[in-house]
Amino acid sequence: MVAVLVAAILSVVVYTAISVGINPPSNVERIDPKSLHLTGEFAEHNLGTSVAADGAITARMVATQFAFVPRCIALPSGKPVTLRFASPDVVHGLLITGTNVNTMVVPGYIAQVHTVFTQTGDLLMPCHEYCGLGHSEMWAVVQVVPEKEFKPASDGRASCEKR
């Protein structure tokens, strides 16, 4: 009887997950936490916002005890953007206030979020997973500017304006 109930519940879960298209929030991409800052995608010169030749906008940040690097990323509103995060130390989490962006950043994996910002302004992005004594000091800013004002440099990189 119990087995039948468990099977029935599981089949409902699987059916609704498939029929409504529900899946885990992130893709599964592994990254070595011990070397991610030295070479590759999350090396320092690759962090921040960059616009690819095909126009794809990607922002990369390292979440580390106890800061996001860089402290601010610039992005346009009204366009699809991809955010990618990696941690070299412990589990962090983040949300961007006023948006649907909310993810964990687990060492060993790249956390990826696709979104479109509908508002502009300096949005606070705190760490929301207790990561140590400096947890409450760990936050960043996402500077969302109107699409017309988003002007990456000739190398495709965009950084925050001082205000």
Q: Smallest Cα–Cα separation from 135: which of 72, 86, 66, 69?
A: 66
Residue 94: what are its φ and ψ, rounded to 5°? -155, 155
Reading the block at residue 24, the tokens are 């885990």
Classify each residue of 133-153 as buried b or exposed e, where b means 16 or more C-beta atoms within 10 Å of its C-beta.
eebeebbbbbbbbeeeebeee
For residue 130, the SS3 value is: coil
Least distance from ligand CUA to the Cβ atom of residue 105, Å:
8
Part in contact with ligand CUA (CB under 6 A); list of ranges 39-47, 126-134, 140-148, 151-159: 126-134
Reading the block at residue 55, the tokens are 């126009």
Q: How far is CA 56 from CA 72, 90, 91, 93, 133, in A?
A: 19, 29, 28, 24, 37
Least distance from ligand CUA to the Cβ atom of residue 62, Å:
11
Least distance from ligand CUA to the Cβ atom of residue 14, Å:
34
Is the Cβ of residue 69 or residue 157 nearer to ligand CUA in the bound state? Answer: 69
Residue selected from 69, 78, 79, 135 as contacting ligand CUA according to rule CB under 6 A: 135
125 binds ligand CUA (CB under 6 A): no
Is the Cβ of residue 26 or residue 120 nearer to ligand CUA in the bound state? Answer: 26
Interface with ligand CUA (CB under 6 A), residue total 7
Part in contact with ligand CUA (CB under 6 A); list of ranges 36-44, 75-83, 113-121, 123-131: 123-131
